[in-house]
Amino acid sequence: MIFRLCCLFAGLTAVAAPAAETAAERFAAIRREASPAELYALLWALPKGGDLHNHLGGAGWPEVWWAIATDPQRNGGQVFYARTRFANAGTSGLNWRGRNLDHMLGVTIRGSSYDKLPAGVKAEFKALRDFTAEEKAAWMSGVVLDQPGEGRDEFFEFTWARLNELILDAHTVPELLVENMKRFGAEGLRYLEFQAPAFGMQDQNGKVLPPEEMAKRYEARLAQPDAVATGVTVRFLSTVLRFAPIAEAEIGRTYAFLDAHRDRWVGINMAGREDNDKGFPRRFLETYRAMRRQYPGIGISIHAGEVDEPNAHVRDTLLLGATRIGHGVNLITDPDTMLLMRANRFLVEINLVSNQLLEYTPDVTVHPFPEYLRFGIPVCLNTDDRGMWHSNMTDEYYTAVRTFALTWDETVSLGRASLEYAFLPAPVKAKLLAEYEAAVAAFAAKMLGADWRKTLETVKAEPSPYAKRTWKM
């Protein structure tokens, strides 16, 4: 009603500039009245700030991986192979983090690894470029959670293992980086803070490269015109696998690497399934304290509370020095830590699609995100491993806005928080924030007018396969 009176007033007095609350009211009206496709288009066009929780190795849609793996121009002239059948011809010797892969179809390897296989085993593999349409479809489905019943175990134990040498490859991963800059840029993101692999990456002969060499390769790819043209600012975190027996030593070498590459590498993260309690946060307390004695100013964002049972992992992770918590799903079960984080300097990196597909909140309508947001705990939206969900950032916004009736101010606050909590030097952050506010104002002026429905027709939104299968976009 207030909105209608405003319009009437504006019409009578020919005042063109909309009142401040007009954008909020129009957004609420669109949220109520728009079709799913219209709301998706609106949120596709919305400026979205940054993505702070994004594993580069998990950010490749199957078709993107396929394109890179089968294009010698983009993968350093390599041919990639995958296992298509079993003939009981012997063992391949292939493993993923020490686990034998001889029971799994779809495991992908590079040509130099294929050349070393025993002759009989070779016959169980086929070059991707020679796959039939059916084999290609099976391979693509194998690296995404697209089937009923595929959830946490499929993701942690099989999906990554199938991609195998594709995500350890020093040619393919920088290519995937730039592909993501283009795709995220198209849906209104201006900052990406990737958890990018630096350690253990391999050249085309399977030789492990020093992290310095890998850092150079990322820089070389980022300097190419197509990467620069995206206008997207990129920084990296280096992530340690938390339950590894040598995780403490890995934190040490990671800090040394970060300290030597501060322009691009801005922080450390720790990941790995938390229901494997060998990686419990308190284990690392002395290690992080030792690091702080040595190194100033390294950002710390750590996965915590990505479990569906109560524990003190979020609180203990803050004690490690983290200022950002990845997921924080079970923070809702820890009232003292919720109070500690309220209106404080700590942010929770929310991943709605991930938490749903990995069964941490199978019913997204009871996700704690809106409680954190409205209780006053800083939050932003992130895509986590969007390649394996076949999703994008618009899917996160669409889920949030539609499920929890977000207001305009709440929606805009998410992108703002993603930049405020970025591990960036103050001048870069200030510039990105100013650009974000200007882009949001321009969006409101253009998209939240009385003719919003007509304006939305001009938006060329690209619903993700996740959106298509989930909401029939």
Reference 258, options 282, 234, 280, 237; nearest CA is: 237
Which tokens in the block code for residue 161? Answer: 């293992």
H/E run at residue 349: strand 347-350
Q: At its nearest, how many Å lie between Zn ion and the CB of residue 250?
A: 17
Segment interacting with Zn ion, rule: CB under 5 A, options 209-217, 237-245, 246-254, 384-392: 384-392
| Closest listed residue to residue 398, CA positions, set 46, 150, 52 | 46
Q: How far is the CB of 13 from Zn ion (least distance, A)?
A: 52
Of 28-36, 139-147, 150-158, 378-386, which part binds Zn ion (CB under 5 A)? 378-386
Q: By CB under 5 A, name the one of 165, 384, 395, 396 that touches Zn ion.
A: 384
Residue numbers 444-463 binding Zn ion by CB under 5 A: none
- The nearest distance, CB 358 to Zn ion, in angstroms, is 10
**Cβ-based nearer residue to Zn ion, 107 or 270:** 270
Smallest distance, Å, CB 384 to Zn ion?
5
| C-beta of 179 vs 384, nearer to Zn ion | 384
CB 199 within 8 A of CB 253: yes
The minimum distance between CB 303 and Zn ion, in angstroms, equals 5
Q: Does 396 bind Zn ion (CB under 5 A)?
A: no
Q: Which stretch binds Zn ion (CB under 5 A): 122-130, 245-253, 336-344, 380-388?
A: 380-388
Bridge partners (DSSP) of residue 202 are 169, 208
> What residue number has its CB nearest to Zn ion?
384
**Nearer CB in complex with Zn ion: 306/316:** 306
Residue 144 C-beta: closest distance to Zn ion, Å? 16
Contact map string, positions 225 to 264, toward Zn ion, x by CB under 5 A: ----------------------------------------
Q: How far apart are the first and last CA of the chain?
A: 32
Nearer to Zn ion (CB atom), residue 203 or residue 384: 384
Task: Kindly report the backbone phi and psi dihedral angles of residue 78, in degrees, each rounded to the nearest multiple of 5, phi listed first.
Answer: -95, 160
Alpha carbon distances (Å) from 415 to 126, 199, 322, 379, 436: 44, 30, 20, 9, 8
At its nearest, how many Å lie between Zn ion and the CB of residue 326?
5
The one segment of 91-99, 214-222, 377-385, 391-399 that binds Zn ion by CB under 5 A: 377-385
Binding mask 66-105 for Zn ion (x = CB under 5 A): ----------------------------------------
- Residue 330 and residue 307 in contact, taking contact as beta carbons nearer than 8 Å: yes
Which residue's CB is nearer to Zn ion, number 171 or number 324?
324
Q: DSSP string of 176-217?
A: HHHHHHHHHHHTTEEEEEEE---TT-B-TT-PBPPHHHHHHH
Q: How far is the CB of 240 from Zn ion (least distance, A)?
A: 13
Binding pattern for the stretch 331-350 against Zn ion, x by CB under 5 A and - elsewhere: --------------------
Number of residues that bind Zn ion (CB under 5 A): 1
The token pair at 369 is 């995100």
CA torsion through residues 12, 14, 17, 23, sign: positive
- To the nearest whole angstrom, how small is the minimum distance from the Cβ of residue 156 to Zn ion? 11
If the CB atoms of residues 334 and 385 are measured against Zn ion, the closer one turns out to be 385
The smaller minimum CB distance to Zn ion, of residues 84 and 301, is found at 301
**Could you give the dihedral angle defined by the CA atoms of residues 149, 135, 161 and 121, in that order, rounded to the nearest 10 degrees?**
130
Instruction: Tell me the window of 28-36, 136-144, 383-391, 461-469 that interacts with Zn ion (CB under 5 A).
Output: 383-391
Our CB check for Zn ion shows the closer of 384 and 396 to be 384
CA 275 remoteness from chain centre: 21
DSSP 353-405: HHHHHTTSSSSGGG-SHHHHHHHT--EEE--BSHHHHT--HHHHHHHHHHHHT
Q: What distances in angstroms separate CA 193 from CA 254, 269, 388, 408, 426, one per listed residue?
A: 17, 11, 18, 25, 16
Closer residue to Zn ion, CB minimum distance, 250 or 384 = 384
Q: Which of 185, 152, 190 has the alpha carbon at shortest distance from 358?
A: 152
Of residues 193 and 384, the one with the C-beta less far from Zn ion: 384
Choice between 92 and 195, CB closer to Zn ion? 195
Name which of 358 and 461 has its Cβ closer to Zn ion. 358
**Nearest distance from residue 333's CB to Zn ion, in Å?**
20
Q: How far is the CB of 336 from Zn ion (least distance, A)?
A: 25
Q: Which pair of structure tokens corresponds to residue 193?
A: 């803070």
Element (H, E) at 110: strand 108-110
Tokens 């005042």 correspond to 15
Positions in the binding site for Zn ion (CB under 5 A): 384
